[in-house]
Structure 1
Amino acid sequence: MPQYKAPLRDVRFLLNEVFDYSAHYAQQPNAEDATPDMVDAILEGCATFCEEVLAPLNLSGDQEGCTFKDGVVTTPKGFKEAYAEYVAGGWQGISHPKQYGGQELPMSLNLLKSEMMGTANWSFTMYPGLSLGCMNTIFQFGSDAQKNTYMPPLVSGEWTGTMCLTEPQCGTDLGQVKTKAEPKGDGTYKITGTKIFISAGEHDLSENIIHIVLARLPDAPKGTRGISLFIVPKFLVNADGSLGERNTVKAGAIEHKMGIRASATCVMNFDEAVGYMIAEPNKGLEAMFTFMNTARIGTAVQGLAHAELSYQGALPYAKERRSMRALSGKKDADHPNDALIWHADVRRMLLTQRAVAEGARAMIYHAAKLADNMVAGVAEGNKAKYEEFDDRLGFYTPILKGFITEMGLECANIGMQVFGGHGYIKEHGMEQIARDARISTLYEGTTGIQALDLLGRKVLLQTRGKCIKEFTNEMIAQAKPHLLDGGPIGKMARLAFKRAIQWKMLTLRIMLRAAKDRDVVSAACNDYLMYSGYAMMGHFWLKQALVANEKLAKGGKDSADFYKAKLQTAEFYFDRLLPRADGHKKAMLSPTSSLMQMDKEHFSFV
């Protein structure tokens, strides 16, 4: 199985040399303690925890899975001990207020932690990860009494949380929610209904689980405008903060999943469970989705994590495994065969994994800075600032979630391919990465939903193309000073510049066509999203290449190999991966007739 090693050199390159996080933190209201030394200590400590505690449980956790009996979920061997160590280390409260026991560091630091944890063991990471949405919701919309009751044990990690959204009939369409909330007359509500796909809905890692639940009041209007939000604890909480009686919420089953098998995905049954309203009546969905951009970026991290882990598994195998001679001649003279890494097609696969992982990391780290500014707006009570950065983050979100998870899945499959037949065997751990990665394109909104959100909502309805104009202007501003440069930098700058102009024109063409044919939006959106992802990743690869090129020009031997590899990976991206955008361009401009002309009855098995 892959032996995970935290990519700290690349992380530090982005933080310190590309995005200047030190200057960024100096402007944040909650970043007084985020000094370079503190950030480095967090990175080192998290890397050690992930490499030594979480990574060794990844394969065994998948093989054992979770067990379910009479409503009780037992996590795989070692998970309870690992979670206790996680809580003891104070990892859960990195980005939450000190008044509730947190460290009050920027949200981006929590995302850096999540990347390492998720790469080491995605199943484990989902248990504390689901608590973040619960905490964020209570923190922003809860009453003072609710915050004082629930935030401290959630921040410490003693309790965990969930987000109970969808139901058997719903899927993404939450307007179909049927769970009922009946007022009892004492300020509490009786919550009755069934929720599905609830990650960490039941487990043995913490003493209490706090569910955030969507439900309808008796007089609620239909659709999404009639949904309220409730806190429903597994165990009721006494006035002194101690645990009271068991609430009438119970896991009815756990799903038998393709991947992330050590993460308990539950069917949760609420049988007149005691609930407490959070936020305003009938505005639960609005409150629930306040931090949805950050949740979806968290899912984008899964695409990065599986690209990175699959690369870390495939690379040493390609260096050690021998097969045939390289076409360009003998490379390993002391052996009758050359290592796989000398074959150009194997290098294509390895460089694809590397380019995707490092490109995705840059995209996500940039978005994390926007998330910091958004949270700062909330902390400062500055609504205008919050809305500005939430809108900017909202443009990135569907691209990050949709594109990066699709690419992460491709890279996970590539890792199996490098191993050949051995990649299909469980002991090597490569097929597990592919199975774990598969869910990333489905939950928190499928790739199709992200594509509709990008093109239909963000581009056409909300901004009329303004968001594309603003981002492509950034691409042009970065590339323009280097258009006449020689060598790889000039070539990459010209290609990025060309894509920026092309992206603008494509958006205008789609907008004009959609005005005449509404099916254009749904027909073109997936290709539009993928085109956008390739173009955006190109922008961030150019950003990294410019820094690496500058560092090399200044000399210094210590990191020369790192910067050379960075430039060479950037060249590969522009030569081999960015051209894929042309296929998406052609497809999105195709007429809708080939999609829509067939009668429904003609879709058959005969």
Structure 2
Amino acid sequence: MYPYEAPLKDMQFVLENVFGASAVWSQLPALSEHIDTDTAAAILEEAARINQELVHPINRSGDEEGVKFTDGKVTTPAGYKEVYQQFAEGGWVGLCGEPDFGGMGMPKMLGVLVDEMGYGANNAFTLYNSLTAGAALCINAHASEELKAQFLPQLYSGQWAGAMDMTEPQAGSDLRNIRTRAEPCDDGSYLISGSKIFITGGDHDLAENIIHLVLAKLPGSNGISLFLVPKMQVSEDGVLGEPNGVTAGSIEHKMGLKASATCVMNFDNAKGYLIGKPNRGLVCMFTMMNYERLAIGIQGLGTSQAASQMAVQYAKERLQGQAASGARTEGGSDPIIVHGDVRRMLLNIKSLTEAGRALAVHTGMQLDLAKYAEDPDTQSKAARYVGLLTPVAKAFLTDRGLDAAILAQQVFGGHGYIRETGVEQLVRDTRIAQIYEGTNGIQAIDFLARKVVGDNLVTLKQFIDELKSEMANFADDKAVAEVTLRFERLLECAEMINADKLSKPALLNACAVEFLDAFGYTLYGYYWLAIAHKAAEMDEEFASAKSYLCSFYIQRMLPKADALLAQILSGDAPVMDMPADLF
């Protein structure tokens, strides 16, 4: 198994040089009292250490052993509980949590990089922490002050874990059909009854209590409400009591993420507490869902980074064939990195990974501005940009993450198909990222229908105008022109879709994926120009590497947007005209 090594220099470069994190934080008083450049660097270094030394070494063994379900109890693989204990004691679960309730109050710009390390080191382990952080975010945003005080400190400390309970057998992407019920009690609580499926971290032995956020319907209502339902009852002062009627019915047997417990959860008159207003549960839950969508995008990014370093190391070691220009090794074979096709794959992975990191940090920055900016206009604009970027981060990062894992497997050849190298686990573990937390097709529809044409392109145009203004300061005029051209073509397509959205109701659904991907490839072009521009200030070797990667991306990857835009311009007819009976 190849070791994981966090790309600290690249992370610090994107954070500070490309996005000017310290300057951003200095303008946000609520953040500046907690974070500066030195603190951020120390946090990244310690996160790298714990993920390299503790979290990654249990990755393959956890995959081999998997979680177990015995007599109604779920147990995680050997070593998971011990590593989780150390992870939680280090404060990592509450890294971006509210200081008033025991969180560390760190910015999301930094948090996304810590998340990337976790997913790069061990996808399955990191999901447990991600669900807890997301549950805490939702509780902090929508629950009463009493519930916050009762539950948040133990969630931030990792003493308790969190889970999100939405899906039912008959209600997947369309949650209107959920059957879980909530009966009101005289004391203001509710009794929750029903079953949920596909619940990540629904039950396990890492924490002493699991706090479920459950969607259910009130009597006589078709609306959906959100409830906090602990596995173990909790007194007002935080002391654990009796079991609360929350049990795991089984665990799913999956293609990957075998060390992550995915459970069928049963609620039998379990005591729960309303979060937010009645029949407004989806609004509350989407606070957590949007957090998880970004987190799952970063799962794809972490996979890309792991795939990149594994494939590069292997390509430098593996001797096969001879360079096209002639043998470089007297009478022997060359490392496969001399071959054009191998280089193509490695450059694909690296260029997508490093631009993807920029997308993650950029999205994190907008989240920080939306939460902490004191100027209402800055806050409002950032919130719109969060809405624009979140579905792209989820879908584009996970699609490209799977691409990276498969390309890395291809670099390994036959050795990539066997278990010992670890690269096949990357393929299996990251495949689900395109599906859960809203499939990537649904992300694309949300992006195009709600975030792009939903406001008649106002946010998209403003966002692109800002990027074009920044690109005017970059030295590579030819590359700037290439990216600018794609943004202009993208806007032309968006205008066409916006004009036809009412007369052709299937158009948005039929071309949403292509539009999101075209936007993603073009946006990455901007990121590469920014990376190369700022890298010129760094040491010569670093600057040279980024210059080569930028050139590769602009010439070989950016043109993918052209084909996608051409598909969009064909309209919805090629997709929708064929009668269903002919399939």
TM-score by length of 2: 0.97
The answer to whether the 8 A contact 1:159-1:206 is kept is: yes
The answer to whether the 8 A contact 2:69-2:251 is kept is: yes
1:271 is aligned to 268
1:178 is aligned to 179
User: How far off is 1:520 after superposition?
Assistant: 1.3
Q: Deviations over 1:344-363 (max 9, x none)?
A: 11000001111111000011
Q: How does 1:43-82 map to 2 (within 5 A)?
A: 43-82=44-83
The answer to whether the 8 A contact 1:500-1:535 is kept is: yes
User: How far off is 1:402 after superposition?
Assistant: 1.1
1:311 is aligned to 308
Q: How does 1:334-353 map to 2 (within 5 A)?
A: 336-353=332-349
User: How far off is 1:580 after superposition?
Assistant: 1.0
Question: In structure 2, what is the Cα distance between the partners aligned to 1:562 and 1:204?
Answer: 44
1:447 is aligned to 440
User: How far off is 1:232 after superposition?
Assistant: 0.5
Q: How does 1:398-437 map to 2 (within 5 A)?
A: 398-437=391-430
Q: Tell me: CA distance 1:440–1:137, structure 2 relative to 1, closer, same or farther (3 Å).
A: same
The answer to whether the 8 A contact 1:331-1:342 is kept is: no
Question: In structure 1, what is the Cα distance between the partners aligned to 2:32 and 2:431?
Answer: 36
User: How far off is 1:283 after superposition?
Assistant: 1.0
Name the amino acid aligned to 2:146: A
Q: Deviations over 1:136-178 (max 9, x none)?
A: 1111222121111101111111000111111111111112221
Question: In structure 2, what is the Cα distance between the partners aligned to 1:385 and 1:575?
Answer: 35
Question: In structure 1, what is the Cα distance between the partners aligned to 2:118 and 2:287?
Answer: 25
User: How far off is 1:124 after superposition?
Assistant: 0.2
The answer to whether the 8 A contact 2:486-2:561 is kept is: no
The range that moved more, 423-432 or 494-503, is 494-503
1:594 is aligned to 574
Question: In structure 2, what is the Cα distance between the partners aligned to 1:76 and 1:598?
Answer: 49
1:529 is aligned to 516
Q: How does 1:123-272 map to 2 (within 5 A)?
A: 123-220=124-221, 222=222, 226-272=223-269
Q: How does 1:451-490 map to 2 (within 5 A)?
A: 451-461=444-454, 463-482=455-474, 489-490=476-477
User: How far off is 1:43 after superposition?
Assistant: 0.8
Name the amino acid aligned to 1:320: E
Runs of 4+ in 1 over 4 A off after TM superposition: 382-387
User: How far off is 1:38 after superposition?
Assistant: 1.1
Question: In structure 2, what is the Cα distance between the partners aligned to 1:122 and 1:156?
Answer: 21
SS of equivalent to 1:169: coil
Q: Deviations over 1:310-356 (max 9, x none)?
A: 111111110011111111222234x6011100001100000111111
2:353 is aligned to 357
Count residues in correspondence.
582
**Percent identity over the alignment?**
42
Name the amino acid aligned to 2:154: P
The answer to whether the 8 A contact 1:479-1:494 is kept is: no
Q: Tell me: CA distance 1:385–1:135, structure 2 relative to 1, closer, same or farther (3 Å).
A: farther
Question: In structure 1, what is the Cα distance between the partners aligned to 2:356 and 2:432?
Answer: 18
Name the amino acid aligned to 2:552: F
Question: In structure 1, what is the Cα distance between the partners aligned to 2:378 and 2:318?
Answer: 54
Question: In structure 1, what is the Cα distance between the partners aligned to 2:101 and 2:52?
Answer: 29
Name the amino acid aligned to 2:5: K
Question: In structure 2, what is the Cα distance between the partners aligned to 1:580 and 1:356?
Answer: 13
The answer to whether the 8 A contact 2:35-2:106 is kept is: yes
User: How far off is 1:481 after superposition?
Assistant: 4.5
Name the amino acid aligned to 1:158: Q
SS of equivalent to 1:60: helix
Q: Deviations over 1:184-222 (max 9, x none)?
A: 2221111011111111010000100000111110021x2
2:486 is aligned to 499
Name the amino acid aligned to 1:259: G
User: How far off is 1:127 after superposition?
Assistant: 0.7
User: How far off is 1:69 after superposition?
Assistant: 1.3
Question: In structure 2, what is the Cα distance between the partners aligned to 1:513 and 1:151?
Answer: 47
Q: Deviations over 1:419-440 (max 9, x none)?
A: 1111100111011001111011
Name the amino acid aligned to 2:440: T
Q: How does 1:67-146 map to 2 (within 5 A)?
A: 67-146=68-147
Name the amino acid aligned to 2:555: D
Question: In structure 2, what is the Cα distance between the partners aligned to 1:97 and 1:532?
Answer: 34
User: How far off is 1:375 after superposition?
Assistant: 2.3
Q: Deviations over 1:93-118 (max 9, x none)?
A: 22222232222222332222111111
The answer to whether the 8 A contact 2:297-2:398 is kept is: yes
Question: In structure 1, what is the Cα distance between the partners aligned to 2:19 and 2:152?
Answer: 32
User: How far off is 1:386 after superposition?
Assistant: 5.0
SS of equivalent to 1:289: helix
The answer to whether the 8 A contact 1:75-1:262 is kept is: yes
The range that moved more, 510-519 or 276-285, is 510-519
Q: Deviations over 1:63-116 (max 9, x none)?
A: 111011122111011100100101111112222222322222223322221111
2:283 is aligned to 286
Question: In structure 2, what is the Cα distance between the partners aligned to 1:253 and 1:386?
Answer: 44
Question: In structure 2, what is the Cα distance between the partners aligned to 1:434 and 1:145?
Answer: 43
SS of equivalent to 1:195: strand
User: How far off is 1:387 after superposition?
Assistant: 4.4
Question: In structure 2, what is the Cα distance between the partners aligned to 1:490 and 1:322?
Answer: 40
The range that moved more, 257-266 or 500-509, is 500-509
TM-score by length of 1: 0.93
The answer to whether the 8 A contact 1:465-1:507 is kept is: yes
Q: Tell me: CA distance 1:546–1:366, structure 2 relative to 1, closer, same or farther (3 Å).
A: same
Q: Deviations over 1:442-474 (max 9, x none)?
A: 11111110111111111112x111122112212
Question: In structure 2, what is the Cα distance between the partners aligned to 1:591 and 1:385?
Answer: 36
